[in-house]
Every structure is written in structure tokens, then in C-alpha cells.
Chain A
């Protein structure tokens, strides 16, 4: 039976009841979103793929005890953030706010979508981490204010305030960089 029309919550319910196909659909449905988050945070395609894999391995265990207090993507988002932080600690790399030492390495150049990741990363890199999170969730991922607040573990008012500050900074930076409509 095709699961493509099944809601995310129902998909997780089916997975919890033992439907292996439901987990495959969860991977298919969310892999791009998890990979994008990791790409922008880590600025490294291979690392982002490794993190995505680890997130779903944890998801296979963790979603079995999912309590449906938030959306499945919220759970995946928090796990992605944790795994990215762990990854950075392990590789003794720079914190998430800093640029990599060699952003033009061969490993990065071979990513078909690297140019998009580079552009996004350059624009959001200067934002404080909480403002960057709110941009990624509320604007890029189209999450509601409520979902964004749940994912970030803060109040909705905080999300709105962070979003206002972040969008002002982004607009200024994009205008300075000449990224404007013709």
C-alpha cells in the first residue's frame, strides 16, 4: 500500500505498530530536510550525509517512544541539532557560527547543490544561533510560529521577536551583497 498520502503523525503511528515500510517512507519524506539543516550547520556535504544517517538511526529507536506532543519533524530537528553539535565536538571543528578553514575544498565542490548551501550559509552565518534557527525553521521550513517555538523550546513571542531581528539583518545583508530583484 502506498504511504505517500499518509500524514506524518499517522506514519509514525504505523511505524510504532511495526510497519517497516512506514519507516522507509519517513526516511524518504524527511531526508532532504534533515540533510539541508546539517549542510547549513556543518558546511560539509560528507559530514551532513553522515549526520543525516545518524539522525535516522536514532529515529528508528527514538520514534518508537514518540509521545506526539510535537510534530515528528520537530523531533527530527532537535535530534539533527544535537548530532551536529556532537559531530562538531568530535571533529574538534569550529563552533557552528564560524566558517570552515577551507570552504572551497574538492569535497565541497563536488556537491551539486553546494552553491545553494554556500549562499545560504554565507547569509545566515553572521546571525546569532537562535536567530539562525528561527530563520531556518520559520522561513525556510515553513513551520508555524507554534511549531517553531516547540522545536526551539521557547515561547511564541520569543520566536516573533527573534524573527523580526533576523529578517531585518538578513535584508540589510542581502542588499549590501547586491542580492536584489532586478
Chain B
């Protein structure tokens, strides 16, 4: 690779994610997970109640 392209590559690799982005991502994933999984315990509880009746 030429020196020019190597320099361009170094500039590209100098770009880094802002601090705390990983924390924000993990919180967002946990939130999405909690919301999409919310109906499951409710459905299980309803099924159990109906079965008892």
C-alpha cells in the first residue's frame, strides 16, 4: 500500500466512538429486551390462572 493510502487509513482508524456509547447501547438493548419480553410472563400468568379456573 502506498504511503498516501496508509496515511488515509490511519486517519480513518483514528475515528473512535464517543465515550459512554457502549453503556448507552447496552442500556438500549436491555430496554428493548425488557419491553419485547414483557408480554411473556404476563401470558404465562394468564394461562396459569385460566388453568386453575
Contacts and interface: CB of A to CB of B under 8 A. Distances in A.
A and B: real partners? yes
Interface of A: 23-24, 27-28, 31-32, 34-36, 39-40, 45, 49, 52-53, 56-57, 60, 111-113, 116-117, 119-120, 123, 136, 139-140, 167, 170-171, 174-175, 179-181
B17 A52 contact: yes
B4 A140 contact: no
Tell me the interface secondary structure of chain A in the complex. helix
A30 to B, nearest CB: 10
Interface of B: 1-5, 7-9, 11-18, 21-22, 24-26, 28-29, 32-33
A52 B12 contact: no
Given A60-B32, A139-B9, A140-B9, A113 B16 contact: yes
Given A53-B24, A140-B9, A179-B4, A60 B14 contact: no
